[in-house]
Amino acid sequence: MDGFVALYIFMLAAFTGYEVISRVPVILHTPLMSGSNFVHGVVLVGGMIALGQAETPLEQAIGFVAVLLGAANAAGGYVVTERMLAMFKSKEKN
């Protein structure tokens, strides 16, 4: 990837992250921390590609660990965030 394009992506993403959270009420900070924890679970995709390109047993072993941990990050992050937010949801119906 072109160096400066990457740098622009970095800069814009950083501002986006800052803006998105700056309007969040305190009551949602814990779910949001958990939700952002889920979002970086996309590291799973990187792990899959790393494992997909692995050739030696060592590379395969480390790649396997990367996918395992990435999948746990994504799945666990989703479940706990959804559980917390479900409580807020049921509140509104009342």
Partner 1 sequence: MAIKWLIDASYFVAAVLFILGLKGMSSPVSARKGIIWAGVGMVLATVVTFLTPGMNNFALMVIAIAIGGALAWISGKKVAMTDMPQMVAIYNGMGGGAAAAIAAVEFARGEMHGTVVTLLATLGALIGAVSFSGSVIAWAKLQGVMKKAFRLPAQNAVNVVLALATLGLGAAIVIAPAIDPMLVGAFFILALVLGVIITLPIGGADMPVVISLFNAFTGLAVGFEGFVMGIPALIIAGIVVGAAGTLLTQLMAKAMNRPISNILFVPMAAAGAGEAVEGEQKEVGAMDAAAMMRYASKVIIVPGYGMAVAGAQHKVWEMSELLEEAGVEVVFAIHPVAGRMPGHMNVLLAEAGVPYEKIFDLEEINGDFAQADVALVIGANDVVNPSARTDKSSPIYGMPILNADLAQNVIVVKRGKGTGYSGIENALFYKDNTRLLYGSAQQAIGEVIQHVKAMSV
Kindly state whether residue 8 participates in binding partner 1, applying the rule CB under 8 A.
no
Kindly state whether residue 17 participates in binding partner 1, applying the rule CB under 8 A.
yes
Minimal distance in Å, beta carbon 8 to partner 1? 11
- DSSP-derived letter for residue 94 is -
Kindly state whether residue 2 participates in binding partner 1, applying the rule CB under 8 A.
no
Q: Cα separation of 86 and 78, whole Å?
A: 12
Kindly state whether residue 42 participates in binding partner 1, applying the rule CB under 8 A.
yes
Kindly state whether residue 14 participates in binding partner 1, applying the rule CB under 8 A.
yes
Nearest Cα residue to 70 out of 94, 39, 91, 92: 39
Q: Cα separation of 33 and 19, whole Å?
A: 15
Minimal distance in Å, beta carbon 63 to partner 1? 5
Q: Cα separation of 8 and 74, whole Å?
A: 27
Kindly state whether residue 56 participates in binding partner 1, applying the rule CB under 8 A.
yes
